[in-house]
Amino acid sequence: MAEKYPCRKITVNEVFTTLLRRYGPQGWWPILSKRNRGPYDSYGYHPNASKKPERKNIFEVALGAVLTQNTAWRNVITAMERMLETHVFSPEEVLRLREDALAECIRPSGYYNQKAKKLKILASAFIRNSWETNIPSRGELLELWGIGRETADSILLYAYGEPIFVVDAYTKRLFYRLGYIQEATTYDEVRNFTQDSLKRVFGETGIAGVFNEFHALIVYHGKVSCRKVPTCETCILHTSREETP
DNA sequence: CGCCAGGCAACAC
DNA sequence: GTGTTGCATGGC
């Protein structure tokens, strides 16, 4: 009987190197406040770059991480453009604006009432703890109402360059089809499995950059190939292997 | 029209 | 701790 998903029998690091070779570096996280330097999808913030992350970029990543919860990224862009136009982009500005006005501003991102409350709480904690210079712990982020595992890890990896792999729906779907995990495998189990696998091959040095690119590549691959209804016939994770014996 | 998108908290058990 | 439900827009 044929495999349900023909992409099986490939290691985690082979998945990473194949995606990187075929799709190229994704350069996440897309940074809206630097859009003058290029379109969102081809310019990114690289946490491994030697320069320290700027305050506005840290908070912008956090904004995007909350706004993209169960939401298409294009809707996040629209919402964040509206925030820029309304001059609601810094933690102070988020706190200054009324919650109902903030909700109206971010309406295109969906769940806008919940997300307005989340952004208020996030901005408050950001200022209170000086998160522009102090890197928050995962526990500190998870204590906040509205910040769950993926959002916390996205902030730590993409805003601060911490070596933490972000697990999302695309990751679970791909890894399930690859046979790495079960549907019930928990978030932290997937995260530890991926981190350990990649560290074993690439070592600790610069591993945050690997986590950064891998997650971004998985999202891209999940959009173009490993979709809800996958196009396995053209999937690069097995076709490229058949070509090279 | 229905389905989906880079989750999360609240609640039931 | 696991399972279910509400939250909401915009694109296809």
CA A18 to chain centre: 20
Q: A219 beta carbon < 7 A from strand B?
A: yes
Tell me which residue of A179, A173, A184, A159 sits closest to A218, measured CA to CA. A173
A69-108: pLDDT as tens digits: 999 999 999 999 999 999 999 999 999 999 999 999 999 9
Q: What is the mean pLDDT of residues A60-72?
A: 97
Indicate if the pLDDT at residue A121 is higher than 70. Answer: yes
At a CB cut-off of 8 Å and minimum separation 6, what does A31 contact?
A: A43, A44, A45, A57, A60, A61
**What three-state secondary structure class fits A223?**
helix
Torsion on CA atoms A106, A109, A111, A116, rounded to nearest 10: -30
Q: A228 beta carbon < 7 A from strand B?
A: yes
pTM for the full predicted model? 0.92
Q: What is the mean pLDDT of residues A3-10?
A: 78
To the nearest whole percent, how much of chain A has pLDDT over 90?
79
Tell me which residue of A1, A2, A4 sits closest to A177, measured CA to CA. A4
pLDDT-based confidence at A53, cuts 50/70/90?
confident
How many residues does this entry show for chain A?
Answer: 245
Which bases along strand C come within 7 Å of a protein CB atom? 1-3, 6-11
Other beta carbons within 10 angstroms of residue A55's beta carbon come to 15
Lookup: tokens for A224: 């173009």
Indicate if the pLDDT at residue A109 is higher than 50. Answer: yes
Which bases along strand B come within 7 Å of a protein CB atom? 4-10
CA A191/CA A150 separation, integer angstroms = 10
Indicate if the pLDDT at residue A2 is higher than 80. Answer: no
CA A157/CA A171 separation, integer angstroms = 16
A22-36: pLDDT as tens digits: 999 888 887 776 554
CA distances from A192 to A69, A105, A158, A181, A211 (A): 22, 37, 18, 12, 12
CA A217/CA A27 separation, integer angstroms = 10
At a CB cut-off of 8 Å and minimum separation 6, what does A113 contact?
A: A103
Indicate if the pLDDT at residue A217 is higher than 60. Answer: yes
- The whole-number Å distance from A146's CA to C6's C1' is 15
- The whole-number Å distance from A24's CA to B10's C1' is 41
Angle (CA) A220-A65-A73 rounded to 5° is: 45
Other beta carbons within 10 angstroms of residue A100's beta carbon come to 11
- What are residue A44's DSSP bridge partners? A30
- The whole-number Å distance from A75's CA to B3's C1' is 17
